[in-house]
Amino acid sequence: GVALGSLLADTGYVTLDAGFVNTASCSSAITYIDGGNGILRYRGYPIEQLAQNSTFIEVSYLLIYGELPSASQLETFTEQIRRHTLLHEDLKRFFDGFPRNAHPMPVVSSAVNALSAYYQDSLDPSDPEQVELSTIRLLAKLPTIAAYAFKKSVGQPFLYPDNSMGLVENFLRMTFGLPAEPYDLDPEIAAALDMLLVLHADHEQNCSTSTVRLVGSSNANLFTSISGGINALWGPLHGGANQAVLEMLDEIHAAGGDTKDFMRRVKNKEDGVKLMGFGHRVYKNYDPRAAIVKQTADKILDKLAPDDELLGIAKGLEEVALNDDYFIERKLYPNVDFYTGLIYRAMGFPPRMFTVLFALGRLPGWIAHWREMHNDPATKIGRPRQIYTGHTARDYVDLSQRS
């Protein structure tokens, strides 16, 4: 493929594939998706087995280093992450510059980008030790950054990380805890969030991961490349869909819960209304992650928000969609975002934090891809071609001569 690409470029021919529907940008050994059959595997391990048996830290190790860790490797990795959770005090003041009502995604991506300014001893992509250090720093500090973005939005004081706690537990405490009060952690919620992070941890060459690779292909540092990925994730066609789903469900609920009328608008493409959380570029079958999330939604909502009517509306929409020719013909099924928002909300997160949670989950995948790219001798700077459709050559017209 690479040889053929270079050959064609030399002849002046270029291939136009808007949205990269059928064009591979790299070879990768990280994640396998069979969209027709609804299969997802990280490093060969089925997502269902990882969701049930593994943890987010272990899956991060698996994605980044290629193998499940031994007990001592896992302990060392966990310990390293624990030791780097603190944010530089100057970087904490960075949050003060944002308005209270800022969306947390640009706050988080800016803070991650700013890591390049505060941790200048781990920026060199060609130095494996520096890459290792920036990997650990990112995994350790993103939960702290995410929690501070939340605290900023609700006007509460920032909590220092408690390094006796696990990554997800610490994140929940820094998000929902208060300085003078002991934080009452619910292990079931922590386990459910950990599992949701596992489900989001990688998804091969999606929009944000491709962005991380493209930024990184110029030898930009890891922090700044990941910041680019966080921005790409924010869009409602990508990770921003989880917030958009909840807003859609709220809207339907407020309008009396008429799912049929909403679906009529979607099918008629009225005002560009889409069934958010449905459809996927690669899955033309049920998204295997959505199946797991749906079960978790049942469990968590039953415990935390048994009166939440939005779950019923979501299930109603799914039922209509799965039996409707519009969705059947286009092979549109629920994706990972369809039910996650309901769980996050039941856990206490406002909708604006949903995509931040997605970013927390996707981080190890982004890192794994950035590192894989740098270790691949076939890597070149990403530089797509174009089909030029503008004017042919024409002469400059003096301002006085223009109508």
- Contact residues toward ligand ACO (CB under 6 A) are 19, 237-239, 241, 266, 274-281, 330, 332, 335-337
Q: Which is nearer to ligand ACO, 129 or 258 (CB)?
A: 258
> Residue 343 is inside which H or E element, if any?
helix 337-347
Q: Which is nearer to ligand ACO, 56 or 327 (CB)?
A: 327
The yes-or-no answer on residue 337 being catalytic is: yes
Least gap, CB of 379 to ligand ACO (angstroms) = 25
84, 103, 337, 369: which one is catalytic?
337
Q: Which is nearer to ligand ACO, 161 or 365 (CB)?
A: 365
Q: How many residues does the chain have?
A: 403
3-state secondary structure (DSSP) of residue 69 = coil
Among residues 47, 152, 50, 174, the alpha carbon closest in space to that of 102 is found at 152
Identify each DSSP E strand in 62-117 by its residue range: none
Q: Which is nearer to ligand ACO, 2 or 328 (CB)?
A: 328
Q: Which is nearer to ligand ACO, 50 or 276 (CB)?
A: 276
What is the rounded CA–CA span in Å between residue 107 and residue 208? 17
Least gap, CB of 367 to ligand ACO (angstroms) = 18
Backbone angles phi, psi at 45, to 5 degrees: -90, 125
Query: Are 368 and 138 contacting, i.e. CB atoms less than 8 angstroms apart?
Result: no
Scan for tokens 């959505």, then name that residue.
290
Least gap, CB of 63 to ligand ACO (angstroms) = 17
- Give Cβ neighbours of residue 128 (< 8 Å, ≥ 6 apart): none
345-367 burial, b at 16+ Cβ within 10 Å, e below that, comes to bbbebebbbbbbbbbbbbbbbbb
Least gap, CB of 360 to ligand ACO (angstroms) = 14
The yes-or-no answer on residue 280 being catalytic is: yes
- Give Cβ neighbours of residue 63 (< 8 Å, ≥ 6 apart): 30, 31, 42, 43, 201, 202, 364, 365, 367, 368
What is the rounded CA–CA span in Å between residue 324 and residue 206? 28
Tokens of 93: 């003041």
Tokens of 128: 């494996």
Q: Which is nearer to ligand ACO, 245 or 367 (CB)?
A: 245
Residue nearest to ligand ACO (CB): 279
176-190 burial, b at 16+ Cβ within 10 Å, e below that, comes to bbeeeeebebeeebb
84, 103, 280, 369: which one is catalytic?
280
Least gap, CB of 208 to ligand ACO (angstroms) = 8
Q: Which is nearer to ligand ACO, 169 or 202 (CB)?
A: 202
Least gap, CB of 359 to ligand ACO (angstroms) = 12
Least gap, CB of 168 to ligand ACO (angstroms) = 20
Q: Which residues are catalytic?
A: 280, 337
